[in-house]
A = this chain, B = another copy of it.
Amino acid sequence: MTHTPSRPAYTRLASTFSRLHRLGHLASLAHWDQAAMMPPKGNDARGAALAELDVLMHGMMTAPELAGLLAEADTESVGEFERANLSEMRRAWERANALPASLVEAQALAHSRCEHAWRSQRPANDWAGFRENLREVVRLSREEGQRLAGLGGGSVYEALMNKYEPGMRCDRLDAVFGAMRDWLPDLIARIRDKQAGETVVAAQGPFPIETQRALGLDVMEMLGFDFAAGRLDVSNHPFCGGVPEDVRITTRYEEGDFLQSLLGIIHETGHARYEQNLPREWLGQPAGLARSMGIHESQSLSFEMQLGRSRGFLGLLAPRLRARFGDQPAFETENLIRLCTRVEPGFIRVDADEASYPAHVILRYEIERALMDGDIEVDDIPALWDEKMSRYLGVDTRGNYRNGCMQDIHWTTGGFGYFPSYTLGALYAAQYFATLRTATPDLDQRIVNGELSVVFDWLKDAIWSQASRWSTAELVERATGEALDPRHFRAHLEARYLGGVA
């Protein structure tokens, strides 16, 4: 055994990806700052700086020598991690090289125009104006998808979705979402019947922003967030950004409602702990990154939904609310549980409860897939939206584009294929907790006792420490002993919303 293994091609590739990681650090920071700190007049200069860095990084990724190095490295003797890393490198390289710079530039332009106009078109309910820009975004995304599909087969939509969920196939999603589409409306109806007779006391504000922030920091601490390696700030759209070594989460506060911000903080803390616990020795290499957006979402939803809205956790929260905001009937644990598990189908995905949420995602999946694969056109969207909202959630969105098909930012910037990640995350999270509950039969009591490390230790071992060394399917199977199975999510909903437990 030698300390300087003869793998020159791999070593050079690893060094190139380390350089990309370091430059990516600056891009991440600049994006976070843009959302959380930057004053408005800084925007043009920021955009120009980020575009310049993009060009540089794209140039490094498309440098001619990488093709030869990747081929050579495949013949070198490397270990298991390095093998996985090479495969991730190749994936990133193929995708960067599949798209001509002219397309990337045209997309950047079209996205920026569509998203910018959408900010005023949405409040104006201006579908006619919006669809003009969206058509161009769709045309370019189809071209992108066609080029990406050329790499590995599969449909245009699948190729786009694989940017966020590498390896996921539409037939698998169809099976999973198809089953859910069958049982979900009935389950929601049963939950609503059961909840119809409940009394829920709303919390009485105002809840001063500074106190909300202090409470948020308490809860982050309780959830194991490392404040020496991250921050909490404010932005219009909450997100988790920064870099694994320095994770920046954001929230937004409303004086009249502390719950939205608090649950958002719990959600982002889940993302943050994943990033903060990626293995340090692999940082900078593609296989050292978080596995996929679905797996990322499974962490935030493990925190927000599985743990955060559990009876035990809300019991821990109640005294903290009283300490921060004073006592009031809404803060009784039983009432807090009812507040956090209220099922009420509505227009807006981001405001949806745990049971309705998948319906919002399935509807978008069906529409965006048909749109990318050329089965429908932009003009067909509103009618399909109305029909599906009515069928899945019993909600009437006709003529209400603003709270209908114009509500999300994703499509304005060509993010077709992203939506499934949200529900995949919910399914994975339910499956983790089923596994965890089998391994730790007193899980709920441990949570009641505040022994939250039982959850964190499992997630760290099964998910965080694994980064991208396995495919998503392998990662989930290693963690839970089986392939993705949506029955765990169904069982979770039934237990929490109909069974009166957890």
A40 at the interface (CB under 8 A from B): yes
Q: Shortest beta-carbon distance, A19 to chain B, in Å? A: 6
Complex Cα–Cα for A245 and B246 (A): 26
Complex Cα–Cα for A259 and B295 (A): 52
- Residues A42 and B243 in contact, CB atoms below 8 Å apart: yes
Q: Shortest beta-carbon distance, A276 to chain B, in Å? A: 9
Give 1 or 0 for each of A7-42: 1 = CB within 8 Å of chain B CB: 000000000000100110111011001000111111
Which stretch of A93-101, A165-173, A222-230, A326-334 is in the interface?
A222-230
Residues of B within 8 A of A42 (CB): 229, 242-243, 245-246
- Residues A228 and B40 in contact, CB atoms below 8 Å apart: yes
A139 at the interface (CB under 8 A from B): no
List which A46-75 residues lie within 8 A (CB) of chain B: 46, 48-53, 56
Minimal Cβ-Cβ distance residue in B for A230: B39
A45 at the interface (CB under 8 A from B): yes
Residues of B within 8 A of A228 (CB): 39-41
- Residues A246 and B41 in contact, CB atoms below 8 Å apart: yes
Known: A26-B30, A30-B29, A33-B33. A229 touches B39 (CB 8 A): yes
Q: Which of B19, B49, B56, B246 is within 8 Å of A25, CB to CB?
A: B49
- Residues B245 and A19 in contact, CB atoms below 8 Å apart: no
Complex Cα–Cα for A229 and B44 (A): 11
A90 at the interface (CB under 8 A from B): no
Residues of B within 8 A of A231 (CB): 37, 39
Minimal Cβ-Cβ distance residue in B for A60: B56
Complex Cα–Cα for A275 and B30 (A): 20
Residues of B within 8 A of A41 (CB): 226, 228-229, 245-246
Residues of B within 8 A of A27 (CB): 26
Complex Cα–Cα for A26 and B53 (A): 9
Complex Cα–Cα for A51 and B23 (A): 10
Q: Which of B25, B45, B52, B56 is within 8 Å of A245, CB to CB?
A: B45
Residues of B within 8 A of A50 (CB): 26
Residues of B within 8 A of A37 (CB): 37, 231
Residues of B within 8 A of A243 (CB): 42, 45
Q: Which of B39, B227, B246 is within 8 Å of A45, CB to CB?
A: B246
Residues of B within 8 A of A48 (CB): 22, 25
Give 1 or 0 for each of A188-232: 1 = CB within 8 Å of chain B CB: 000000000000000000000000000000000000001111110
Complex Cα–Cα for A180 and B26 (A): 46
Complex Cα–Cα for A29 and B227 (A): 21
Residues of B within 8 A of A246 (CB): 38-39, 41-42, 45-46
Minimal Cβ-Cβ distance residue in B for A26: B26
Known: A37-B231, A228-B39. A245 touches B44 (CB 8 A): yes
Residues of B within 8 A of A33 (CB): 29, 33
Complex Cα–Cα for A465 and B177 (A): 62
Give 1 or 0 for each of A87-112: 1 = CB within 8 Å of chain B CB: 00000000000000000000000000
Give chain A's interface residues, CB within 8 Å of chain B. Answer: 19, 22-23, 25-27, 29-30, 33, 37-42, 44-46, 48-53, 56, 226-231, 242-243, 245-246, 283
Q: Which 6 A-B pairs have the closest CB atoms?
A: A42-B246, A25-B49, A41-B229, A45-B245, A22-B52, A22-B49
A-B contact pairs, 28 of them (CB 8 A): A19-B52, A22-B45, A22-B51, A22-B52, A22-B53, A23-B52, A23-B53, A26-B26, A26-B27, A26-B29, A26-B30, A26-B53, A29-B29, A29-B30, A37-B37, A37-B231, A38-B246, A39-B229, A39-B230, A39-B231, A39-B246, A40-B228, A41-B229, A42-B243, A42-B245, A45-B243, A45-B245, A45-B283
